[in-house]
Chains A and B, each alone.
Chain A
Amino acid sequence: MQSSNAINYDYTVAKYFTISAIVLGIVGMSVGVLIAFQLAFPELNNMFGEYGTFGRLRPIHTDGVAFGFTVSGIFATWFYVGQRVLKVSMAESKFLMFIGKLQFWLYIIGVAVAVVSLLLGYTTSKEYAEFEWPVDIAIVVVWVLWGISIFGLIGIRREKVLYISVWYYIATFLGVAMLYVFNNMEVPTYFVSGMGNWFHSVSMYAGSNDAMVQWWYGHNAVAFVFTVPIIAMIYYFLPKESGQPVFSYKLSLLSFWGLMFVYLWAGGHHLLYSTVPDWVQTMASIFSIILILPSWGSAINMLLTMKGEWGQLKENPLVKFYVLASTFYMLSTLEGPIQAIKSVNALAHFTDWIPGHVHDGTLGWVGFMIIGGIFHMAPRMYKREIFSKKLVEAQFWLQTTGIVMYFTSMWIAGITQGMMWRATDQYGNLAYSFIDTVEVLHPYWTLRAVGGSFYLIGVFMWAYNIYKTATSSKAIEKEPQYATPMA
């Protein structure tokens, strides 16, 4: 079979994005840990003058992990999984190879410009859409290039039917494209008035409308960056790593359509009791509850895939990553709808319970899938076994501890503060001044920052392990079929 003209999968672009996922993960999460400590120890705000305050750094953390770490992970896994399930190699098309590399370098330039511009305070202020219009255009170009890669590869595929992961990647492409373009509609002020900063712009929408569009985007960016592509990953990596076919392929198809239809309605739950129309709020609340069904459809499908094979949890740390990831997915897709119930939201909104919820999804589900996915890919891309199994195990337990510390402290902090804001004395006057409700959070914020640090240390362990795997681990002759080989 190994004749000279045999085709092999070409992982060049996947390797590029693996590196950027690791680097940007470290950058984004380091900033996250720093700003977490800033809340507990405010003097840390004044280290770098105006460039080191919480307000400046927070977008770098959120965008860094969402569009740096996660999107790199999505691209890396696509350029790996895409070829394999379509049974076609990037090496078969010079054009697609060129587009893939172009996409990577434009992406890196875009990230660099974005980080610098945010540090300098050039921001539109809309969450996860902070970039000014020149960066927005770069992002759109990168995204279109990715679209060309997806549909180009599909065009030359050998396998007739698209595997479920490919469905989810296509949906990611479409969803993010639609949301990003509409939320970032802005008018560059220089071109209208002829003066001032050329990169400054003003939003196309005002007030309540801006809020509606923003949270339609904000909520669904979570859908199409933190959920949909991660499901694409787990539908490939868990079956492949464990050697078990998906429990029910039909269920995976159903959950897909369910998720696609229901998710987009739920954005308004970020605006409960705000000034957007009541019916939008109620509808968002209801759809958020319905959203449990398709979410759990995928998660349960994954857990049942391991039916009768739970012994693998003991032997294979990667299976542990995937199984815990789907468990955290179930947790956060139950927690989210609970927070979207109007009376619960009245308490939870504006408190730490919300970032707590986001982080048990992102750290537990998104982070673990990308970390686990790259662990699976590395030996096959670099033709070497994983450098150290012990290190993988240690990383798993350290990060899991970190996540648990993180979300438990944030739950307590959020509910405490929410209760204190509304507490009254016997005469009906407010019982606490605002600063009381801040000071009480200090221990929880400290715990949270420590939990986050654990996770960050885990990411460093991951980076080291992958680096060693790529450079100096024991070479493997034949590609492993299922379980990833580890030293």
Chain B
Amino acid sequence: MFHWLEKNPFFFTVGVFLVIAYAGIVTILPDFMESARPLKGTKPYTALQIAGRQVYIANGCNTCHSQLIRPFKSETDRYGKYSLSGEYAYDRPFLWGSRRIGPDLHRVGNYRTTDWHENHMLNPAAVVPGSIMPKYGFMFKKDIDFKTAYAEAKTVQKVFDVPYDKPGMPKLGTYDEAKKAAYKDAGKIVANMKNQEIKDAYKNGNIREIVALIAYLNGLK
């Protein structure tokens, strides 16, 4: 009864496919809808935060920093309340990471400030002696790509129904509106920074990568 399997490449291929596909269907599909639900009070990222998140991703911060606090006392003591599924509802992609070469960042906004990040990103070892984190001086010189950040926000709003512009949710609006709002948000961060170059750039209407990144990190709570 099994001989056909060994001789007929077509049936064999179909057989293998069924066997390997089954696990994915059973494990991933059933809870798909439930896992996609946001927690009450969880809000999508502002356009400036998305720009910061893109900087975070482009530089592979997630290769060394996790964003997932596991339900152990040793972790909640160190990083804060353990993570809940609904908190990630607007995370595309998820950034849990797989290796903690540096500490977890899921709630870093609760215990680090703008000026701490400013000093730390410029020279980590000066703030945390012994740190092996690279220096990120170039983020103080490069401008963000706000168009791509806005494009991402607009896309998730259109395609995945992310509730921008809904009552109690962040405003997105048109590109010009969003840009104005992002400039205003960035101003609050820049006001807490010391670097003169950043301030000058801001006055000229430019938002540096570091500003957006800090906006994103401060929002992780």
Contact = CB atoms under 8 A, between A and B. Distances in A.
Asked whether the complex places CB atoms of A and B closer than 8 A, the reply is: yes
B155 A54 contact: no
B79 to A, nearest CB: 10
Interface stretch (A42-50, A102-110, A232-240): A42-50
Contact of A261 (B19, B88, B147, B150): B19
B19 A195 contact: no
B12 A209 contact: no
A189 B48 CA distance: 16
A351 B104 CA distance: 12
Contact of B66 (A190, A192, A267, A350): A350
A449 to B, nearest CB: 13
B1 interface: no
A216 B27 contact: yes
Given A189-B155, A208-B94, A276-B85, A162 B19 contact: no
Interface string A100-128: 00000000000000000000011111110
A122 B58 CA distance: 6
B173 interface: no
B148 interface: yes
Given A178-B21, A438-B101, A211 B7 contact: no
Interface stretch (B124-132, B163-171, B185-193, B200-208): B124-132
Given A430-B74, A434-B103, A53 B59 contact: yes
Interface residues of B, number: 82
Contacts of B71: 273
A394 to B, nearest CB: 33
Nearest to A42: B132
Contacts of A49: 138
B155 A210 contact: no
Contact of B74 (A170, A263, A264, A424): A424
Interface residue range, chain A = 35 or more
B85 A207 contact: yes
A203 B92 contact: yes
A206 B94 CA distance: 6
A124 B93 contact: yes
A154 B91 contact: no
B66 to A, nearest CB: 6
Interface string A260-293: 1101110110100111110010011000000000
Interface stretch (A55-63, A88-96, A400-408): A55-63
B195 interface: no
A174 interface: yes
Interface in A160-218: 160-162, 167, 170-171, 174-175, 178, 182, 187, 189-190, 192-197, 200, 202-203, 205-214, 216
3 A-B pairs with least C-beta separation: A55-B60, A207-B88, A196-B151
Given A171-B16, A174-B20, A430-B74, 4 more contacts: A54-B64, A126-B93, A212-B35, A435-B130
